[in-house]
Structure 1
Amino acid sequence: MTEHVRISTTDRVMYVVLARPEKKNAITQAMYGSMAQAIREYSAGDDARALVITGEGDYFTSGNDLQDFARGADGDGPPPVVQFLNAIASCEKPLIAAVNGPAIGVGLTMLLHCDLVYAARGATLSAPFVKLGLVPEAASSLLLPEAVGQAVANDIFMTGRALSADEALQFGLVARVFDDTELADGVGEIALHVANSAPNALRLTKSLVRHRGAEIAAQMEREGKLFSDQLGSPDFAESVAAMMQKRAPVYP
């Protein structure tokens, strides 16, 4: 567990809050481990019937903590990031996202596995993997083109540009946009409604909408291999060096 993920349950709603605002909620392996455990417990138990993921402060998340990520994970078995992605992709109960600020990288791709996604008006969504010399993950190379169309998905992936909350609404990546100060209360009301709804009907509805678990898992595995290869590539090394040195990258 880590203090950078705050987990609580109120009125059968579990809240998973990324709580590292001093680092723009950049996600470490320890944070992935805590989130994976929380989602597994939510999936297996009956204490909570809705789960909300959100961020503390001005960011939803700035994505992976690259320095922590490059060091790799300790221990045997799947890395915590893989555990988290598997947990969020296979969860049979409702997952809700309250995007309170910029959602970068995995901050966007995890939304593709959430059933109800809401954003603050000041939020932005981006997937700048290519800018970092990396490739999409979380089966986003499958799910994002299906959600927004191939042309828009390529625009998001290949340019790394950020979508405004209104654009995300237009493209169907979020269901509603709230004023920044109203997001928490608005999503809290929706989560409470979901938690008090017929649980089996919710599970069955989700299973009907999301019925391609094996295909999504296979795409995650393909992406994960390429992502791992790119972490050791000249592309990634030059991208990170340029970012740290605040200069334009120069690729061979």
Structure 2
Amino acid sequence: MTDLVTTQIEDGVITIQLNRGDKKNALTGEMYHAICDGLDQLENDPALRVALIKGTEDCFTAGNDLVDFLNSSSIGGDSPVARFLRTLPNLTKPLVAAVNGPAVGVGTTMLMHCDLVYAAPGSKFQMPFANLGLCPEAGSSLLIPQLVGYRRAAELLMLCELFDAHTAKEMGFVSEVIEEDYQAYALEKAKKLARQPPASMRITKQLLRQGNQEQLKAVMAAEEKYFSEMLEAPEAKEAFNAFLEKRKPDFTQFS
């Protein structure tokens, strides 16, 4: 366990908090494992009915810690990211998210696997995979076109455009934009879910998602393959080096 991810249990809800605010909650392998440990606890403990995932008050997550991520060189196999991406679509109990500030990369795509998402007005969403010479992950190449249509998904995943909380609500990424204490509001909604009949919640979630399950599994396997290959390719190396060197990447050399 790491103190960069904390858990708290209250009224049948396990709250998993990203607690690396000085680094905008950028995710490391150790943090991915800690999140999964919390989600496994949810699944295995009958007294737990719902998980709430949140960041610090003003930041959800800036996505992967790039230095740590480059050292792992994969989102497949037994990597921490792979464990996280396998865990999300296989959850049988409800997952709620509370979002503010940056929700970048996996910080946005993980929301596709949440049942309820509540965002503060200052939330900013972005999926910059193409900017980094990579491709979508977490099943987002399937789930986002289903949510918003092909052309809008192409803008989000090819141009990597930033969008705000109200646009996210209009597109269906979030349930509500909360002006007041968004984390307290999300926790109350999670507690309300926890008071519902547990079998009803599990079966309802299963039925809502069953039409996608086999296709999602195939899409995520393809994303994993391409993403891992592209992570080692010259375009990604140029993108990451440019980011670390604080310069604009030059992709004119590639065809």
Q: TM-score, with normalisation over the residues of structure 2?
A: 0.94
The aligned counterpart of 2:190 is 191
The aligned counterpart of 2:134 is 134
CA–CA separation in structure 2 for the residues paired with 1:249 and 1:104:
19
Contact 2:73–2:231, Cα closer than 8 Å, also in 1: no
Q: How many residues are paired up?
A: 250
The residue correspondences of 1:58-69 to structure 2 (distance < 5 A) are 58-69=58-69
Q: Quote the offset at 1:56 in angstroms.
A: 1.1
The aligned counterpart of 2:225 is 225
The aligned counterpart of 1:47 is 47
Alignment deviations for residues 151-183 of structure 1 (CA, whole Å, 9 cap, x no partner): 11111111111111000011111110001x420
CA–CA separation in structure 2 for the residues paired with 1:98 and 1:28:
20
CA–CA separation in structure 2 for the residues paired with 1:9 and 1:183:
18
Q: Quote the offset at 1:73 in angstroms.
A: 7.7
Alignment deviations for residues 30-85 of structure 1 (CA, whole Å, 9 cap, x no partner): 111111121112112112111100101422100011111111189xx621111111
User: Sequence identity of aligned pairs in percent?
Assistant: 40
CA–CA separation in structure 2 for the residues paired with 1:198 and 1:159:
43
Q: Quote the offset at 1:246 in angstroms.
A: 2.0
SS at match of 1:136: coil
Q: Which amino acid aligns with 1:31?
A: M
Contact 1:135–1:223, Cα closer than 8 Å, also in 2: yes
Q: Quote the offset at 1:236 in angstroms.
A: 0.8
Contact 1:118–1:174, Cα closer than 8 Å, also in 2: yes
- CA-based RMSD of the aligned residues comes to 1.6
The aligned counterpart of 1:34 is 34
The aligned counterpart of 1:71 is 71
Q: Quote the offset at 1:218 in angstroms.
A: 1.8
Consecutive unaligned residues of structure 2, counting only runs of 5 or more, are none
The residue correspondences of 1:1-252 to structure 2 (distance < 5 A) are 1-72=1-72, 78-179=78-179, 181-211=180-210, 212-251=212-251, 252=253
CA–CA separation in structure 2 for the residues paired with 1:89 and 1:124:
24
Contact 1:73–1:80, Cα closer than 8 Å, also in 2: no
SS at match of 2:181: helix
Decide which moves more: 15-24 or 235-244.
235-244
CA–CA separation in structure 2 for the residues paired with 1:41 and 1:163:
33
Q: Quote the offset at 1:214 in angstroms.
A: 2.6
SS at match of 1:205: helix
Q: TM-score, with normalisation over the residues of structure 1?
A: 0.95
CA–CA separation in structure 2 for the residues paired with 1:36 and 1:107:
15
Consecutive unaligned residues of structure 1, counting only runs of 5 or more, are none
Contact 1:29–1:73, Cα closer than 8 Å, also in 2: no
Contact 1:108–1:126, Cα closer than 8 Å, also in 2: yes
CA–CA separation in structure 1 for the residues paired with 2:185 and 2:57:
17
CA–CA separation in structure 2 for the residues paired with 1:58 and 1:136:
26
Contact 1:63–1:103, Cα closer than 8 Å, also in 2: yes
